[in-house]
Amino acid sequence: MTDTDTTSISAAITGETVKQASAELSDLLKLRTYPFGMKLFEDVEEMKAVPGVRTPMDGIPFTTCQLVTQVRTAGFTLGIVKDNLRPNASCGANIGLEEVPERLASGEQMTGVWFDNQEAAKKHQAEMPRVAPGRYSGLCASPLRTGRLDPPDVCLFYASPGQMILFINGLQFKDYRRYDFTITGESACADSWGRALSTRQTSLSIPCYAERRYGGVADDELLMACPPDEFLRGVEGLKGLSKNGLRYPYPPFGAFADPAIGMSKSYG
């Protein structure tokens, strides 16, 4: 992508442009749940001023994977602070709302559960992509179709592997680059919203055990998190691929047919 293209896309990023791209993405990929955005806030009162924002019930802490599921399935706009999240978990630390709890940072908490020894558990915590603590006090998540985050810090959506690779093809349509993603293992939200919020890099993750158990993530779902400019570029690329006949769902050709017949339609 040229500097001119990047400037043009950046200037076009608003809640409304992201909202429109979200509708196009859902249509192009036939997504099961809503694409959504996340935005960090230094001032909690500014977060509470987001139109339609809800806050969790006091005294009933939950996890960020539960928050995300409520947003992408029920369509809620949710704003949270550190005290809304489970204590002694990595949720608040992954999004920069608190320091990593000592039992986690030392490896003690996950030893004998996810790791055979404390050294491995401690290294796992040290290598997790996270938003640095100290700056932000709240996070709001909302379906992109609402346009309430103007604009979001990152855009996210769940999709099957077949849907996800086509979106990545869209990202590469006009300006090719190779994408490298990280795999933390358990606490995979660090690879998605943790990494994307902290680095503003496009981040794909394989959801972990906790996301599946507490967030209800399906077996066939992957999670994409990317900054708004990449999100818009990916959708534009998908539209270009669609014009070339490369659409979702994939029309099956058959494992026993002559592929030349199908390939000739694209490549001549």
**pTM (predicted TM-score):** 0.93
Tell me the pLDDT tens digit for each residue of 170-212: 999 999 999 999 999 999 999 999 999 999 999 999 999 999 9
Note the pLDDT of residue 86: 87
Residue that has been written with the tokens 């293992």 in this structure: 185
Given a cut of 60, whether residue 11 has pLDDT beyond it is no
Given a cut of 90, whether residue 29 has pLDDT beyond it is yes
Tell me the pLDDT tens digit for each residue of 211-234: 999 999 999 999 999 999 999 999
Tell me the pLDDT tens digit for each residue of 99-114: 999 999 999 999 999 9
Given a cut of 70, whether residue 5 has pLDDT beyond it is no
Given a cut of 90, whether residue 4 has pLDDT beyond it is no
Note the pLDDT of residue 57: 72
Note the pLDDT of residue 7: 43
Contact 94, 189 (CB under 8 A): yes
Average pLDDT over residues 126-145: 97
- The mean pLDDT value of the chain amounts to 93
Note the pLDDT of residue 112: 97
Given a cut of 90, whether residue 30 has pLDDT beyond it is yes
Note the pLDDT of residue 8: 46
The count of C-alpha atoms lying within 13 angstroms of the C-alpha of 153, restricted to the half-sphere facing its C-beta, is: 22
Average pLDDT over residues 53-68: 88
Contact 161, 221 (CB under 8 A): no
First to last CA, the chain: 27
**45-to-48, 80, 149 alpha-carbon distances in Å:** 5, 11, 15
The token pair at 112 is 């004998």
Distance of CA 40 to the CA centre of its chain: 14
Q: Which of 2-16, 77-91, 144-158 has the lowest mean pLDDT?
A: 2-16
Given a cut of 90, whether residue 62 has pLDDT beyond it is no
Note the pLDDT of residue 15: 87
The token pair at 41 is 């806030």
Range with the largest mean pLDDT of 9-13, 48-52, 57-61, 250-254: 48-52
